[in-house]
Amino acid sequence: MPAIAVSGLTKTFRTYRKQPGFSGAIRGLIRRTYEQVIAVNEVSFIIEPGELVGFLGPNGAGKTTTLKMLAGLLYPSGGQARVLGYVPWERHNDYRRQFALVLGQKNQLWWDLPARESLELNARIYGIPADRFTRTVAEMSELLNVREKLNVSVRELSLGERMKMELIASLLHQPKILLLDEPTIGLDVVSQKIVREFLRRYNATHQTTILLTSHYMTDIQELCRRVIIIDHGRIFFDGQLSDVVDRFADFKLITIHCDDTEVALTDQLARHGEVVEKTPGSIKLKIKRDRVIPACKALLDDLPVRDIDIEEVPIEDVIRQIFAR
């Protein structure tokens, strides 16, 4: 049975449209104008147990709305969803004990309490035995490098430390489903790396199904083989991350290293592709995929080339181009 099965999931919001100016505000008191905004539009996908899937899309694409429906926080306007066999918005107690939702910009810990006391409260809510609680907190706080911060008030923790504590709080009851919305937002590169390593190890050890949204492509590249791309509420792509480049990037980057770059900067280069970067001793070209082999042969024949590199376009650039479309 799939861990998550979504079919035709749709969510619309009714929003008030205010007319400009003071007169518009007065008219709004008498008669309001509303419009329907489609946040999620007939989204369908299946995620198997133990998968770690990236959920990508520009701001306002419908990512967070989808996660909130899967967590049961929002009722859909249409469609169906099953998570671990449960309908999320029916809010069965058995289901609520088997998933966790972490929102990168929301805080679930008590602001004025030490982190350990907030974790103890969560443990009481989920009925976690004391020995298991102690063992779990010790293990995760060690992996996330926050053991020394457990007795510090949450308000005094840095953003990275708070996010790590949020992860511990969400995983205390060992959920089978983990929904992560921008878990590394605003963190420094060291904290991002620690969180990524922790998630990779946790997924491998516990086979927890993870659906991850992030605007940091490093998170996606290091953690996810499969990605789902959503835009304007619709699924745009669902497949292997490696296939994104093959499908949406129709060119490669070729760097030629020459002893004399002035010789290389001739009209000959314009025949093969676009010069995207020039440094002393090297030139980088963007060349159509179907022209890479003949272009390389021509460059080697015509120019004083010492070395040549061929590489794929960075996945972050490809995703950025997809969003720009």
Beta bridge partners of 266: none
Name the residue with higher pLDDT: 248 or 152. 152
Instruction: Please report the pLDDT score of residue 22 as a whole number.
Output: 66
User: Out of 57-61, 70-74, 211-215, which region has the weakest mean confidence (pLDDT)?
Assistant: 57-61
Residue 284's DSSP bridge partners are 255, 277
E-only strand ranges, 77-214: 78-83, 99-103, 177-181, 209-213
Lowest-pLDDT choice from 143-147, 184-188, 224-228: 184-188
Rounded to an integer, the average pLDDT of 153-165 is: 88
What's the pLDDT score for residue 111? 84
b vs e for 84-122, b when ≥16 Cβ sit within 10 Å of the residue's Cβ?
Answer: bebebeeeeeebbebbbbbbbeeeebeeeebbbbbbbeb
- For the 250-324 domain, the top CATH level (class) is alpha beta
pLDDT at 284: 85
Of 32-36, 104-108, 201-205, 265-269, the range with the highest mean pLDDT is 201-205
pLDDT at 190: 87
Measured between alpha carbons, how far is 234 from 2 in angstroms, rounded to an integer? Answer: 21
Average pLDDT over residues 131-137: 92
Res. 201 pLDDT band, cuts 50 70 90: very high
Q: CA nearest 10: which of 36, 49, 48?
A: 36
Amino acid at 280: P
Q: Which residue has the tokens 């982190």?
A: 115
Reply yes or no on whether the pLDDT at 262 is more than 60. Answer: no
pLDDT at 85: 93
pLDDT score at 157: 87
Residue 55 has pLDDT above 60, yes or no: yes
Please give the pLDDT value at position 100.
92
Chain-centroid distance, C-alpha 39: 18
Rounded to an integer, what distance in angstroms lies between the CA atom of residue 318 and that of residue 205?
A: 32
Distance in angstroms (rounded) separating the CA atoms of residues 277 and 314: 15
Which residue carries 């963007």 as its tokens?
Answer: 286
Residue 236: per-residue pLDDT:
86
Where does the pLDDT of residue 320 fall: very low under 50, low under 70, confident under 90, or very high at 90 and above? confident
* Assigned CATH for 4-245: 3.40.50.300
Structure tokens at 198: 């922790």
Q: Is residue 13 very low, low, confident or very high in pLDDT (cuts 50, 70, 90)?
A: confident
Label residue 28 by pLDDT band (50, 70, 90): low
Average pLDDT estimate for 12-35: 73
Percent of the chain with pLDDT over 90: 37
> Which pLDDT belongs to residue 211?
95
Global pTM reads 0.80
In terms of Cα–Cα distance, which of 81, 77, 113, 112 is closest to 179? 81
**pLDDT at position 160:** 85
Domain boundaries of the chain, sorted by first residue: 4-245, 250-324
pLDDT top residue among 280 and 100: 100
Q: What is the mean pLDDT of residues 266-286?
A: 76
Write out the E strands in 197-298: 209-213, 226-231, 234-240, 251-258, 274-279, 282-288
Q: Does residue 50 surpass a pLDDT of 90?
A: yes
Residue 287 has pLDDT above 80, yes or no: yes
Q: End-to-end distance of the chain based on CA atoms, in angstroms? A: 36
Least Cα distance to 89 among 98, 97, 80 occurs for: 80
Q: Is 321 helix (H, G, I), strand (E, B) or coil?
A: helix
Answer whether residue 308 shows pLDDT above 90.
no
Burial of 317 (0-12, 13-18, 19+ CB in 10 A): middle
**pLDDT, mean over the chain:** 85
What average pLDDT does this structure show over 5-15?
90
Q: What is the mean pLDDT of residues 39-47?
A: 93
